[in-house]
Structure 1
Amino acid sequence: MATVLCYGDSLTWGAAPQGGRFNRNQRWPELLAKQLGEQHEVINFGLPGRTTIWNDPFREGRNGSLAIQSALEIFGPVDILIIMLGTNDLKHYFNIGAYEASKGIEQIIHKVHAPSPHKFAAPKIVIVAPPNILSPKGDLTDMYRGAVEKSQELHQHYQRVATINNCVFLNSSSILQPSELDGVHFDLAANKQLSQSLTPLIKELINC
């Protein structure tokens, strides 16, 4: 049995572009669990607004680097860690780009590789570059001002970080895009597409 921890933001949590949260059986981590089989445990630890390393002045507790070691203890031992973060880093008030988001991912990787106080082995890491942001709608328009162009550079910086740190890499923008309803969040089809793309990667890591 393998424990797979999905560490992300609202795209992992299951935020629906029309508002609210998708049902449990519609979110990509839960779809992944179904495809892997009941002998494996897949944990959805997505949190809306979570960043890589940035403290959000408007929402407490969103700094992903500060919670990762606690998550590995709470759910440990974790065999495979899937990290998909960076979309929230591109909010205009952080004033950073794709390169800085990738360095935030790298800081999380370093924390994951730190010795465990419980002697847990470090999990295998899968880095998923978030999809390109489309034209944000509604309240997201100002929040993601300038983020469309920045998001298109995420995959190249993330791939470099994944390679340097011996992580598996998946570029989600090559297989899906956010819903046109809000330009940021997944629809049902995107959740399904991501789970299907991750399934063979995770199965291969389980069998390594």
Structure 2
Amino acid sequence: MATILCYGDSLTWGAAPQGGRFNHNQRWPELLNDHLGSTHTVINFGLPGRTTVWEDPFREGRNGSLSIQTTLEIFGPIDVIILMLGTNDLKHYFNVGAYEASKGIEQIIHKIQAPSPHNFPTPKIFLVAPPNILSPKGDLADMYEGAVEKSQELHQHYQRVASLHKCVFFNSASIIQPSELDGIHLDLLANKQLSLALLPILDQLIKC
């Protein structure tokens, strides 16, 4: 039996483009759990607004690098960790791009691969580049000013980091895009498509 931890932001948490949160059985980590069956456990530990390493001045506790070690202790031992972060890094007020987001992901990977204080085995890392941002709507338009172009560069930087640190890599932008309702979050179909795309890769990781 394998334990799989999904460590991400609102795209993992299940934020609906129209507002609120999708039901438990509509989010891609929970759908992935259903596909795998009762022999494995998929944990959804997404958090809206979570960044790789940046401190958000408007939302406390969103720095993914600072919370990854306690997360590994709380849920450990973990067999596979699925990382999908970076969208929030591209908010206008952080003033960083895809390269900096990839360096942030790299910091999280370093911490995951560090020796465990409880002698837990090192989890296999499945790095997923988030989908490209579309044209953000409403308040998100100002928040993500200039982020559309930056998001299109995430996958190439993430793939380099994954290769360097021997992580499995998947570019979600190759199969899904955010809803046109807000340009950021996944609709029901995209959640389903992502779960189905990750399933065979994750299945192989578990068997290795």
Q: Could you state the TM-score of these two structures normalised by the residue count of structure 2?
A: 1.00
Residue of structure 1 equivalent to 2:33: 33
The residue type paired with residue 14 of structure 2 is G
| Cα offset, 1:96, TM superposition | 0.2
Residue of structure 1 equivalent to 2:198: 198
Q: Are 2:9 and 1:9 equivalent residues in the alignment?
A: yes
Residue of structure 1 equivalent to 2:131: 131
Gaps of 5+ in 2: none
Structure 1 segments of 4 or more deviating over 3 A?
Answer: none
Q: Are 2:148 and 1:148 equivalent residues in the alignment?
A: yes
Q: What are the within-5 Å matches in structure 2 for residues 56-71 of structure 1? A: 56-71=56-71
Residue of structure 2 equivalent to 1:52: 52
Residue of structure 2 equivalent to 1:157: 157
Q: Deviations over 1:75-122 (max 9, x none)?
A: 000000000000000000000000000000000000001110100011
Residue of structure 1 equivalent to 2:177: 177
The residue type paired with residue 153 of structure 1 is E
Residue of structure 1 equivalent to 2:100: 100
Q: Deviations over 1:37-69 (max 9, x none)?
A: 111000000000000000000000000000111
* Separation (CA, whole Å) in 1 of partners of 2:131 and 2:84: 10
* Separation (CA, whole Å) in 2 of partners of 1:4 and 1:184: 25
| Cα offset, 1:134, TM superposition | 0.2
* Separation (CA, whole Å) in 2 of partners of 1:178 and 1:198: 17
Percent identity, aligned pairs only, is 78
* Separation (CA, whole Å) in 1 of partners of 2:201 and 2:89: 26
1:119 aligns to what SS in structure 2? coil
The residue type paired with residue 52 of structure 2 is T
Residue of structure 1 equivalent to 2:90: 90
1:70 aligns to what SS in structure 2? helix
* Separation (CA, whole Å) in 2 of partners of 1:69 and 1:7: 12
The residue type paired with residue 179 of structure 1 is S
* Separation (CA, whole Å) in 2 of partners of 1:126 and 1:61: 23
| Cα offset, 1:204, TM superposition | 0.1
| Cα offset, 1:158, TM superposition | 0.3
Residue of structure 2 equivalent to 1:74: 74
1:65 aligns to what SS in structure 2? helix
* Separation (CA, whole Å) in 2 of partners of 1:117 and 1:155: 32
The residue type paired with residue 12 of structure 2 is T
The residue type paired with residue 21 of structure 1 is R
2:186 aligns to what SS in structure 1? coil
* Separation (CA, whole Å) in 2 of partners of 1:67 and 1:151: 24
RMSD: 0.3
Gaps of 5+ in 1: none
| Cα offset, 1:190, TM superposition | 0.5
| Cα offset, 1:72, TM superposition | 0.6
The residue type paired with residue 99 of structure 2 is Y
* Separation (CA, whole Å) in 2 of partners of 1:124 and 1:193: 23
